Chain A
Amino acid sequence: MLGVAAAAVLALPLAAPVYHVLLMLPFMAYAVILLGLNLLFGYTGLVSFGHALFMGIGAYTGAVLTTHFGVRSLELILLTAAALGALVAAPVGALCVRYVKIYFSMLTLAFGMLFYTFLLKFYRLTGGDEGIRVLRPSLLGFDLEALAKIDYLAGPYYYYSLGVLALAALVMWRIVHSAFGLCLRSIRDNPAKAEALGISIARYRWYAFVISAVYAAAGGALLGPPTGNVDPTLAYWTHSGNIVFMTLLGGFASFFGPVLGAFVFIFLQDTVMSVVPYWRLVFGALLAFLVIFAPGGLMGLFAGRRPGEVSRV
């Protein structure tokens, strides 16, 4: 199954229309973000409504570095975005993980709103509501300015994003299958029991929060170059809501569920928008349907069962 998907994604730029190849770019960026978000959501049992904060940090890192600092290397942009994501997530997470359930979600939402306002008001650095341009990054040291934009995005940038996604998935796979990953699941299932077994819940929740922020920032940095522009809507709370929606759509109980969710979301949104202008109406109905009839998401439908986690989130 995974092999077929990998082969399809590798061959896509050769066979599919450019339009669909370009739609894959935000999908791959979101897939990275969602792998991180689900460490917090599916594996630790904490729902963040503030991860637009970290996507915004990542996206703006790419914009500021390319336009203000003349840094064009995407490797450097990704590493800086990840480092800044971790730097901001460390204190924010330390505070947020002291709370659980709705209080955790609301606190992350609050920090997200703070950052959104910062982006809007600090005009000189952030460009205010118009945002800033993202200049074309170089990939692995190759300056690709000579290529037409479409060829750059549908060729080298596509495979670069795919490489980042593959690496991110591999690292996350190892994290969730490590001793640390097991500790997170024990905390999700029963915090009091985990503590009685000597597991420090605040510490592990904090680790998970910082790791998920690093993923969100790195994925956020990948969102910028395809559009060539970043603006504060990237950091707006509805963007946080979108990634939670993607996670629910794909199914948070499975490792690849959120990745599938991102894929379906991006392509469904595109399809619906081309038919009716009210895509939010359709997606709202879809979300309601999911929560009531398929809380396990698409992966849950494939597996033919309702995950037991649902009632707890």
Chain B
Amino acid sequence: MILRAEGVRMFYGDFCALDGVSLAVNAGEFVSIIGPNGAGKSTLINVLTGALRPSAGTIRFKERDISGIGPVRLARLGMARSFQLVQIFPDLTVLETLQVAVVSRLNRGSRLFGGLSRDREVQEGALAIAELFGLAGKAHTPSKHLPQGDKKLLDVASAFGLYPEIILLDEPTSGVSTRDKHAIMEILVSASRQLGIKSIIQVEHDMDIVFGYSDRIIALHQGRVLAGGTPDEIKANEEVVNTVVGRRTVTPDGGG
């Protein structure tokens, strides 16, 4: 057990976004969280990553309470995330972006005078990630000039550069053409294997991706866990198919 949420409730005023969600993620698992718009997926991600403190319930990562601890300490503890809306550093190159992650991982940000270009550990660490994600050819391209798919990939790659134990991906393939989606997922899975990342949790709307890559799926509906199980179990669950899976074919994209 690497991550465990118990009885998590989240209120925004009178509105109950999460109504007693409990879930556990084991080391080595690829878990997808699915659900219709407004099911509470984004809130759940924000609670699981310590960005929001839940109104009730606990979040434990490696047996440690991480409710509302914020992104910086979370990254130090070994959990990384990527964003639904792609987040890049527009004026940094691909390599520089990855160097930020490596500098953070090696805790070298307070080195005021050491030339970064001569820090071989940082240089090689960043290049290794670039190669893993097929971005080495664009190492010196400013991030803002990358095509959308590569921006998405870079966002995820920089999170991988932290060598986290667990990574939360908020719609890793949203806004990317169908052709690129599977390529991104293949890169993601093989990279996490090579870097020794134990678990991946993703929020995803594309059911092909969800069924194709998940070990386990958790379906969320109106702030509650509707069902959890293997892809086959979820496909066989009529309630989930009706409320979540079926509806996706009608509205293929959007926020959660």
Given A185-B92, A198-B76, the answer on whether A180 and B111 have CB atoms closer than 8 Å is yes
User: A185: which of B71, B80, B89 is its contact (CB, 8 Å)?
Assistant: B89
Chain A: residues with Cβ within 8 Å of the partner, total of 29
- A-B interface pairs (CB < 8 A), number: 111
Cβ-defined contact, A308 with B91, below 8 A: yes
Contact present for A195 and B71 (CB under 8 Å)? yes
User: Shortest Cβ distance from A61 into chain B, in angstroms?
Assistant: 24
Q: How would residues 171 to 190 of chain A score, 1 for a CB under 8 Å from any chain B CB and 0 otherwise?
A: 10011011111110110111
Q: Which of A181, A196, A199 contacts B87 (CB 8 A)?
A: A196
The A159-177 residues at the B interface (CB cut-off 8 A) are 171, 174-175, 177
Kindly provide the distance from the CB of A176 to the nearest chain B CB, expressed in whole angstroms. 10
Task: Tell me the nearest residue of chain A to B104, going by C-beta.
Answer: A198
- Collect the chain A residues with CB atoms within 8 Å of residue B117's CB: 177
Quick check: is B242 within 8 A (CB to CB) of the other chain?
no
In the complex, the answer to whether B75 meets A196 with C-beta atoms within 8 Å is: yes
A174 near B115 with CB under 8 A, answer yes
* Residue pair B75, A178 in contact (C-beta under 8 Å): no
Stretch at the interface among B93-101, B185-193, B199-207, B211-219: B93-101
Asked, given contacts A179-B109, A179-B119, A309-B91, whether A196 binds B100 with beta carbons under 8 Å apart, the answer is no
B197 to chain A, nearest CB (A): 15
- Contact in complex: A190, B112 (CB < 8 Å): no
Chain A interface, >50% SS class: helix
CB distance from B150 to the nearest CB of A (A): 16
Contact status B87-A182, CB under 8 Å: no
B221 interfacial contact with A, CB 8 Å: no
Which residue, of A179, A186, A199, has the highest number of chain B Cβ atoms within 10 A?
A: A179
The reply to whether B75 and A183 form a contact with Cβ atoms under 8 Å apart is no
A178 touching B101, Cβ below 8 Å: no
Query: Is A200 on the interface with B (CB-CB < 8 A)?
Result: yes
Contact call B81/A196, Cβ cutoff below 8 A: yes
Q: Are A179 and B89 in contact (CB under 8 A)?
A: no
For window 107-154 of A, CB contacts with B under 8 Å fall at none
Q: Which residue of A lies closest to B70 (CB)?
A: A195
15 A-B pairs within 8 Å (CB atoms) are namely A171-B113, A177-B116, A178-B116, A179-B114, A180-B112, A183-B100, A185-B89, A185-B96, A186-B97, A188-B91, A189-B88, A190-B89, A197-B161, A198-B162, A211-B112
